[in-house]
Amino acid sequence: MAANIKELKEKLAYSCNILAHEGHWDNILGHVSFRIPGQNRILMKPHSFGFEEIRPQHIIVVDIETGKKVDGKYERHSEVFIHTEIMKARPDVNCAVHSHPPYATAFGSLGQRLRPVSHEGVIFHEGLPTFDYTTQLIRTPELGAEVAKSLGRCRGLLMKNHGSTVVGESIEVATLYAIFLEKAARIQLMATASGDPSWTSDEEAALKYEQIYTPHRLGTMWEYFVRRAKKFRKSN
């Protein structure tokens, strides 16, 4: 198990690095978590570091039931309850990404439905809720439960005036979906600013999703982003 935890910390660190370089940087804010297999705990990015700074030794361990840090050197994010309450409500979710990317944040303030204008939009064609219960930080289990309730069975949600939260069965999937949500929001905002855009029908969106975002394709996409992250690490 120790070797597996080491590998998971490395993968979670790469998730953070990738997000930093794909539009999710917001100084030291934003966080990613991963459910430790066979345990009621999560690995999580700590407070006080930017996404681009994270390395395996920074990752902390948090108890899902209490939200308390149980291992690691660094401070826990106060919004840990986004992660713990989603993990409680969604056994199928193993990774959650909460960040403040500019286009998704702007789009979330408009009250509009995300449409599959681009390939990336088809990922969320079955629904992308907006959490508008509050715009304040999610610092209590009760608010975390409201986020989980708004998320429902969807792959992500916009948080009104507060960024986005995206989930997946793996670090790879959640990270890529978070990146692609930001791109989908950017393209729709650009298209809407220029006119009245068209978008893919629901029927074709389901087909395109199966064509583009297969496990194999997501795997090769993840490998591409890791290669880019490794280059950034070496250059710093």
pLDDT in tens, 27-45: 999 999 999 999 999 999 9
Of 53, 11, 2, nearest to 30 by C-alpha is 53
Q: What's the mean per-residue pLDDT of the chain?
A: 97
* Predicted confidence (pLDDT) at residue 1 exceeds the cutoff of 50: no
Residue the block writes with tokens 């990738």: 18
Beta-bridge partner residues of 98: 31, 165
pLDDT tens digits, 88-106: 999 999 999 999 999 999 9
Q: Give the percent of the chain with pLDDT over 70.
A: 98
**Per this entry, what is the length of the chain?**
236
> Do strands 130-131 and 156-159 pair parallel, antiparallel, or not at all (unpaired)?
parallel
What is d(CA 9, CA 54) in angstroms, rounded to the nearest whole number? 10
Chain-centroid distance of CA 204 in Å reads 25
pLDDT band at 232 (very low <50, low <70, confident <90, very high): confident
What is d(CA 94, CA 102) in angstroms, rounded to the nearest whole number? 25
Of 187, 52, 133, 54, nearest to 44 by C-alpha is 54
pLDDT tens digits, 111-121: 999 999 999 99
Q: Give the percent of the chain with pLDDT over 90.
A: 97
Structure tokens, 234:
């070496």
Beta-bridge partner residues of 28: 26
pLDDT tens digits, 130-173: 999 999 999 999 999 999 999 999 999 999 999 999 999 999 99
Residue 202: the pLDDT is: 93
Residue 2: the pLDDT is: 52
